[in-house]
Structure 1
Amino acid sequence: MRSYLILTMCGLFLIQYFVQLPWLENIVIVMTLAAFAGSASKANPMARWFGISMMAVGIAVELSKGTGLAGIRQGISMNLPLLTLVILVPLLSLPLKLGGYFEAIDTLLRRLKHQPRKLFAGITAVLFILGPILNLGSIRVVDEILKKHSLPPMMLAKSYLVGFSTTMLWSPYYASVALVLYYLHIPITEYMAYGIGLALLFVVMGNILFAFWAGRHLRHNDHPETAAAAEMEEDAAQDSGMYRKKLARLGLIVIGLMGITFLLEFATHWSMLVLVSLLALAFPLLWAVSTRGWSRLAPMLVSFRDHSVPFMNNEIVLFTSAGLLGIALQGTAFGNGLKTVLNGLAHQSFFLFALSVVAFIVVVTFIGVHPMATVTTLVTQMNAHDLGTTNIVLAMLLMLSWSISSTVSPVNPLNLLASRLSGTSGLEAGLRANGLHLLLVTGLGLLIITWIH
């Protein structure tokens, strides 16, 4: 029943975006609050505690400011476009699962498994491409392929975190990029060159560092299959033949989805969050029509409704409450004080300001606060003009902070998943396996951002 409530909320929000009816907006707000209440009891304890606290503080601040129900309603609706995107984006993965593209990835990685450096490059490339569409599910897909090959845990921890963390720097389908660009009012076409350039640079750096690490730590007997078995497997892969075409088609699909998003945003000037949500709804339906695959798609849609949507508890609780708190803090003594501190740091030394923002988000995320809550609080109090910089620079800084903090924090969902699947602890996956990489990308990222500034 809760799934129907959440999906109806998303559908009515998309309708309201175009028709702009006050009574419909009120219905959407009520449904959002109902979804929040239903999800709060099922969210994990940390998300529940922070979500309820942010909601309570946000309501109290709005009432004390005198904005009353109008302010609360504005705050509740603030992150609805982002929440709708996060809920609906997994629909993009359904045609990929049904089209046999994951089997092609399986074939590719199996052929590379005796060449650690090439395998690492293959894993990070797959996560780079699939991360925007499958979210954390992309790591599960790759792990399902690799778990039968007994790869070293540290290699898995490195590849999973290096490959996926870059998604947070560039993908318009991922929450970090979507949220920051939404709040800073930056068209995705203006930001994409910066984000994808930074992400590619970090992937290359991760692969170079792994090459040195592999030379010192990996031996041939880390891969126990015999050469004869490997040759038989590779021959079978070559005989199967179609995997290269499938991989090329997968790349074209991802590029096509991105291109359509950019073109529609340029042509319509609609919110990028709304466009991606509409695309997530349209893509599976168009696939079913063009392939006559309704009978295969229908069970996947039912599974999405019954299994994917009900597990969005943390996202619903955090996104709803963080939007309200971020809006509520504007114009308060705390908000003005935070602005004063940030502006003072930026005018004293922009590099010091940038380093302080990264350090603050990393520390707060490390102790258990989702970076979405921290970034929302900061971005709603930042003004690029007052800081003496541009919105593009602020966007790059906040996304860099989100990526680093999610990788290093042992209680962040990304780190938790990567450490569990690789058989390491959260601290091992974040700091031991990727500490040097994180240190280098932080330093290089801050230098690049300061240079652009």
Structure 2
Amino acid sequence: MKDTYLGITSFVAVLLYMVNVFVSAHFLAILYSSLAVVLLLFAWRRMKSGNKIVVTLLLLVGSVLFLFYRPPLREILFSFGENLNLIALFVLIPLFGTFMSEAGYLQDLQRTLLQRERGKKSHPYRLGFLLTASMGWLLNLGSMPLVYKIGAESFSSFENKKLGMTILRGFGFCMLWSPYFVNVGLILILYDLTWSQVGGYGIAISLIYILVVLCFFPVTRFKEEEVITNQVAADSMSDSTSSSLHKFVLYIVLLLLFSFVFEAILPVNMLTVVSILAVVYPLVWSLCIRQFRSYIQEASEYVRTSFPRIYNEIGIFITAGFFGEALSRSKAGDWLSHMIWTMSQGMIPLFILFLIGSVILLALLGIHPVIIILGIGSSLTPEAFGVSSAFMGVLLLCAWTLATQVTPFSGSVLMASHLMNEKPFQVMKYNAPFILVLLIIFTGVLTVMNTFM
């Protein structure tokens, strides 16, 4: 029962934040910030010891900074609600997937794969990557087990660990550009950017990322690999799926179109746009296909049961907002900028290597990337290094992507280890050469991009 109330509370908090974006009211800010404090307290109680220690330290350091600089109490309270726009992505974006499942689109996609397996040569890893890349940009981390389930029940034969690694790398592709990912949203907020200012560069880098993935396909091998063979594709098939798949494609295309159009015409950023669409778009679509009542039931169930799945992210992001606001009042940014500038000797390639390497190293120590990126973004001003805000945003996107692909503490690596039946540290070991190659390539690409940004 308590989890039900907490799930509803998180939903109400982000909705109040969104209303406040359009109708700014002091009492709304007080209300959603107070709800954020409540959510943080309950999330902290459920966290594992590692995250609990990090969150506690950040709260203590932030409190000391606030006591030293003595801002008004209301500003301290508002800092707890600072990142509710990012939490909105965790709370609301899964509603897209809830509708897709309720409408039967995912089941029809699986039937199409079964039909393809029956008539053509199997390409499980290529299809696994394409499925993750095409669904992950919207469904986020939930796409990984979903794609694995679809593939495991559809592909006639595949190597289990190789498929899991392929899905992990497909997820990384989405992190470089998708406006529905929290890392992209955070970068846009930190540097006051629109998606159009960084999205094109992110897509360009993600295409290079695909080429590296393709090069690693032949050399991706595992000890004690498990080969899974299915007989389902040969005899279980339905041929009446094309109409539903056309609706599915239309659903995705219109969603992307509305996202970019609304960002261009509305006086709000992409985070607010996608959060609004997450609430409204499935509702309208369910009305059009006459599944409104069943969708409402599934969406209500999702909201009531959401807190146990996202409490970790809620706690970390609320704490990061509090800490980031406190840190922004200090002179840590000047000190950190001077240190990085001195170590890189003013050379952009060294600056890129040092920054990405630092993010990866801290992530390997178990610090959540949002805390790292928020700390760096709140402290470093692009002008101090002679680069644009857009370049700094793209650089941090690359750093976040590489860090979450290799640290054994990230959600994506933990999910991949579960799918692969491997320990997280083994997944890190297997993916490390891939990340090292990307680090070198990204450094060169970003150095060239800097001249155009």
TM above 0.5, yes or no, is: yes
Q: What residue number does 2:323 align with?
A: 325
Counterparts of 2:444 and 2:312 in 1: how far apart (Å)?
34
Do 1:5 and 1:31's aligned partners in 2 also have CA atoms closer than 8 Å? yes
Q: What residue number does 1:125 align with?
A: 130
Alignment of 1:213-292 (within 5 A): 213=220, 222=227, 224=229, 232-233=234-235, 237=237, 240-243=239-242, 246-247=244-245, 249-292=247-290
Counterparts of 2:303 and 2:43 in 1: how far apart (Å)?
15
Question: What 5-or-longer segments of structure 1 have no aligned partner?
Answer: none
Deviations 1:394-422 (A, max 9, x none): 11111111111111111211101101111
Counterparts of 1:40 and 1:176 in 2: how far apart (Å)?
22
Do 1:150 and 1:223's aligned partners in 2 also have CA atoms closer than 8 Å? yes
Q: What residue number does 2:171 align with?
A: 164
Counterparts of 1:38 and 1:302 in 2: how far apart (Å)?
21
Deviations 1:345-401 (A, max 9, x none): 455211111111111111111121110110000011121111101122111111111
How far the C-alpha of 1:212 sits from its partner, in A, is 4.7
Q: What residue number does 1:176 align with?
A: 183
How far the C-alpha of 1:278 sits from its partner, in A, is 0.6
1:142 to 147, 158, 161: 147
Alignment of 1:337-356 (within 5 A): 337-345=335-343, 348-356=346-354
Do 2:148 and 2:164's aligned partners in 1 also have CA atoms closer than 8 Å? no
Counterparts of 1:115 and 1:450 in 2: how far apart (Å)?
43
CA 1:113–1:30 in 2, change beyond 3 Å: closer, same or farther? farther
Deviations 1:98-151 (A, max 9, x none): 222212332344445998983211111111121122211111112222345673
Alignment partner of 1:92 is 2:96: yes
Q: What residue number does 1:410 align with?
A: 408
How far the C-alpha of 1:31 sits from its partner, in A, is 1.1
CA 1:73–1:39 in 2, change beyond 3 Å: closer, same or farther? same
Q: What residue number does 1:192 align with?
A: 199
CA 1:210–1:61 in 2, change beyond 3 Å: closer, same or farther? same
Alignment of 1:297-446 (within 5 A): 297-345=295-343, 348-432=346-430, 434-446=431-443
Question: What 5-or-longer segments of structure 2 have no aligned partner?
Answer: none
How far the C-alpha of 1:153 sits from its partner, in A, is 3.3
Q: What residue number does 1:54 align with?
A: 58
Q: What residue number does 1:66 align with?
A: 70
Counterparts of 2:441 and 2:112 in 1: how far apart (Å)?
32
How far the C-alpha of 1:452 sits from its partner, in A, is 0.9
Q: What residue number does 2:108 align with?
A: 104
Counterparts of 1:113 and 1:152 in 2: how far apart (Å)?
19
1:81 to 85, 88, 91: 85
Mean Cα displacement is larger for which, 160-169 or 252-261? 252-261
More helix by share: 1
SS of the equivalent of 2:268 reads coil
SS of the equivalent of 1:97 reads helix
Q: What residue number does 1:293 align with?
A: 291
Do 1:347 and 1:388's aligned partners in 2 also have CA atoms closer than 8 Å? no
Alignment of 1:21-60 (within 5 A): 21-60=25-64
How far the C-alpha of 1:340 sits from its partner, in A, is 1.5
Do 2:349 and 2:443's aligned partners in 1 also have CA atoms closer than 8 Å? yes
Counterparts of 1:114 and 1:178 in 2: how far apart (Å)?
42
The one-letter amino acid paired with 1:128 is A
How far the C-alpha of 1:301 sits from its partner, in A, is 1.3
How far the C-alpha of 1:59 sits from its partner, in A, is 2.1
The one-letter amino acid paired with 1:39 is A
SS of the equivalent of 1:151 reads strand
The one-letter amino acid paired with 1:304 is Y
Give the TM-score taking structure 2 as reference length: 0.90
Mean Cα displacement is larger for which, 160-169 or 308-317? 308-317
The one-letter amino acid paired with 2:319 is S
Moved over 4 A (4+): 112-117, 216-219, 221-226, 245-249
The one-letter amino acid paired with 2:447 is T
The alignment's C-alpha RMSD in Å is: 2.6
Counterparts of 2:274 and 2:68 in 1: how far apart (Å)?
36
Counterparts of 1:26 and 1:442 in 2: how far apart (Å)?
43
Do 2:133 and 2:173's aligned partners in 1 also have CA atoms closer than 8 Å? yes
Mean Cα displacement is larger for which, 79-88 or 204-213? 204-213
Alignment partner of 1:201 is 2:205: no
Alignment partner of 1:447 is 2:451: no
The one-letter amino acid paired with 1:442 is L
SS of the equivalent of 1:368 reads coil
Counterparts of 2:303 and 2:60 in 1: how far apart (Å)?
30
Do 2:382 and 2:392's aligned partners in 1 also have CA atoms closer than 8 Å? yes
Counterparts of 1:224 and 1:312 in 2: how far apart (Å)?
34
Counterparts of 2:45 and 2:121 in 1: how far apart (Å)?
44
The one-letter amino acid paired with 2:441 is L
SS of the equivalent of 1:424 reads coil
Counterparts of 1:166 and 1:132 in 2: how far apart (Å)?
9
Do 1:410 and 1:430's aligned partners in 2 also have CA atoms closer than 8 Å? yes
SS of the equivalent of 2:281 reads helix
